[in-house]
Amino acid sequence: MNNPLLSITGVAKRFGEVEALTHVDLTINSGQVIGLVGGNGAGKTTLLRLIAGVMEPTVGTILFEGKQVSTMRSKLGVVPESTGLYSRLTAWENIRYHSRMYGIPDDIAWNRVSHFAKRLELTESLSRHTKGFSRGMRQKTALLRALAHGPDILLLDEPTAGLDVTSARTVRSLVGQLRDEGGTVIYSTHHLAEAQQVCDRIIIVHNGTIRADGSPEELLELTGQENLEEAYVSLTSDKSRTRAEDTAKDGKMAKWWRRFLTGSTPSGKYSSQLTSMEVDDDE
């Protein structure tokens, strides 16, 4: 029997006295768009960071194709809510730098990026410096950067936050294309309607726990409600807690997270080349 793409068993994560996640068990197979739905502070970003291997769980295990996720990072693509682009580089230079960190030849990265750039209507902007990019253009560039090395699984943290209607629709359409091509996407959002549009499976996260996991139809059956909004409310009726990441003193980890997502890890072959470059944090 083949291993699942991703297996999360008994995972909990604490920041000091705050338990950001409590006993998470999930199994994810290939070819689906899985939505992580929850409000601010629910634990979605913490879970994505654990899956990416940037953080380690306090207890529990996370396996990617049966192996420790930290050894499989080349098979992951990550788009954080803050894109972390180098503003003095062009869009393509940002993407190329990232793909080189994964050992991908420039021609292969370019072919893959060109394919998706057409869908995102960003082809003509690949040669432009990202300093003047709109929020939507930065988000699209970050998405191309995450796809350049051909990951098996794509992690998206609030991918349409702050985007206009057209850009958000384009991003959702691309996610659907990736699924149709056999890709796997974990899509974090606090918008239930968006999750319903794009996701095959919805995992509701609230106060660090998994409250429900299933298709939209299964969630309605579970709660006995007529629509997903009412189903969500019934599953998350207890008061939301303070966002764990806001109270934790994890400055070093936050810096490491940004470096990892932009491909500029301290041990990387090209890490010393851009140490003085500006990085946009997306206001």
Query: What is the per-residue pLDDT for 267?
Result: 44
pLDDT in tens, 172-196: 999 999 999 889 999 999 888 899 8
CA–CA dist 118, 223 (Å, integer):
41
CA–CA dist 238, 245 (Å, integer):
20
Q: Which residue has the tokens 């290939």?
A: 30
- Would you say residue 183 lies in a domain? yes
Query: What is the per-residue pLDDT for 35?
Result: 95
Q: Which residue has the tokens 């994890």?
A: 250
- Would you say residue 95 lies in a domain? yes
pLDDT in tens, 138-174: 999 999 999 999 999 999 999 988 788 988 999 999 9
Q: How confident is the model at residue 280 (pLDDT cuts 50, 70, 90)?
A: low
Residue 38, φ and ψ in degrees, nearest 5: 180, 165
Q: How many domains does the chain have?
A: 1
CA–CA dist 78, 280 (Å, integer):
17
Q: Which domain holds residue 264?
A: 6-271
Strand order in the sheet with 59-64: 18-28, 6-15, 59-64, 67-68
Q: How confident is the model at residue 78 (pLDDT cuts 50, 70, 90)?
A: very high
pLDDT in tens, 58-70: 999 999 988 888 7
Query: What is the per-residue pLDDT for 41?
Result: 86
Question: For the domain that residue 101 is a member of, what is the CATH number?
Answer: 3.40.50.300
Please compute the mean of the pLDDT values over residues 114-121 and round it to a whole number: 91
- Would you say residue 277 lies in a domain? no
% the chain with pLDDT above 70: 84
Model's pTM, two decimal places?
Answer: 0.82
- Would you say residue 281 lies in a domain? no
Query: What is the per-residue pLDDT for 54?
Result: 87
In the structure encoding, which two tokens stand for residue 58, read together?
A: 């306090």
